[in-house]
Amino acid sequence: MDRYSRQQLFAPIGERGQQHIREKHVLVIGAGALGAANAETLVRAGIGKITIIDRDYVEWSNLQRQQLYTEEDATNRLPKAIAAAMRLRAINGDVVVEPIVADADACLLEQVVARERPHVIIDSTDNFDVRMIINDVSQKYDVPWIYGACVGSYGLSYVIVPNETPCLRCLLEEVPLGNATCDTVGIISPVVHMVVAHQTAEALKICVHAQVNRKLVSFDIWHGQYRMIDVHKLKKDDCPSCSERRTYPALQYENETKFAVLCGRETVQIRPAHRGEREWTTLLSFLTKRGIQVEQNDYLLSFTVDSHRFVVFSDGRVLIHGTNDVQEAKRLYYQYLG
């Protein structure tokens, strides 16, 4: 096929490797800057299937670096997974694209990985809670995953192969607090692409059964630093995620409504304990009666009360913009949606 001729000319891939890529399924978690770029690269490379999970919708501040999205997507507040899937299908119609609009929590990730059995999971998330879940799911279902993260002009990447490399919990004794790394520092697009270049190169190697890079790579693209560190000695014999005495701590699901402040966004996310479709009609009539204007598409509805904007997803989740205060968010949530 002429489409992949340049990639096939590259000897470590070749025609055989291209066939392997065609048979592989990748799970991309997150459809922000990292997710969009990872997905586009792998779809252009001719991956067989891609599943992309994201909980958020497209906003104007995303367009600077989240390459799959357009102004129209931002105007329509399209869920990122949906907007990404439309664009990815337009780029390469041979690829099966499966978007999932949901929060990548332990419950959902286990379900998806157990059902789909992807060949590799690509981390494109923005917090360590999810990464620890990915880390445990990867060990439990024996699927390699590729960590990638960036902030400012600094980024890093590392491939975790179950039974071969130390896992993320071996390297990190504690989950870093989000504050130091969030939107306060900003981010430039080139470092996103540097992280993605490493993640997709390793993903392609996994697809063609080549040896992955075992080193932790980190770089600062503005200050010209680049280093690789051999971390194999950090594998822990008593790691709760990857040792023989594993308990998968990130998969212990507590069944309660969760309120989480979204880093740097003046937003609180609420995840109700009971899953399933949220009932729209009651909410709609309630809001209309109060003269509150509601905007709606197939996936979410949003409305503003005082200075707070509520975004209600059909899977039950709610975002309340305009507050960093969990208590205030709880009050507002139970006031309007509880």
Please, which residue, 172 or 337, has the CB nearer to another protein? Answer: 172
| Cβ pair 191, 37 in contact under 8 A | no
Q: Is 207 a catalytic residue?
A: no
Contacts of 207 (CB under 8 A, 6+ apart): 17, 20, 21, 24, 26, 47, 119, 120
List the x/- string, 162-201, binding to another protein by CB under 8 A: ---------xxxx-x-x-xxxx-x-x----x--x------
- Segment near another protein (CB under 8 A), from 43-51, 52-60, 226-234, 243-251? 226-234
Among 67, 135, 153, 218, binds another protein (CB under 8 A): 218
Q: Which residues pair with 148 in a beta bridge?
A: 157
To another protein, the closest distance from the beta carbon of 20 in angstroms equals 27
Query: CA-CA distance, 145 to 120, in Å (whole number)?
Result: 6
Determine the interface stretch with another protein among 33-41, 206-214, 249-257, 320-328 (rule: CB under 8 A). 33-41
Report the nearest approach of Zn ion to the CB of residue 241 (Å): 5
| Residue type at 336 in one-letter notation | Y
Pair of tokens at residue 270: 């609420």
Q: Annotated catalytic residue: which of 182, 239, 242, 263?
A: 182
The answer to the question of residue 303 lying near another protein (CB under 8 A) is no
Q: How far is CA 82 from the centre of its chain?
A: 14
Three-class SS state of 331: helix
Residue with tokens 């130390």: 166
Tell me the closest approach of the beta carbon of residue 170 to Zn ion, in angstroms: 4
Which of 125, 138, 153, 302 binds another protein (CB under 8 A)? It is 125
- Specify the residue for token string 């205060």: 325
* CA pair distance 307, 247, nearest whole angstrom: 44
Shortest separation between residue 181's beta carbon and Zn ion, angstroms: 22
Task: Please state, in angstroms and as integers, the Cα–Cα distance from residue 123 to each residue in 53, 172, 224, following that order.
Answer: 11, 16, 24
230 is an interface residue for another protein by CB under 8 A: yes
Which spans of this chain sit near another protein (rule: CB under 8 A)?
Answer: 30, 32-35, 123-128, 131, 148-151, 154-156, 171-174, 176, 178, 180-183, 185, 187, 192, 195, 216, 218, 225, 227, 229-231, 233-234, 263
State the catalytic residues. 182
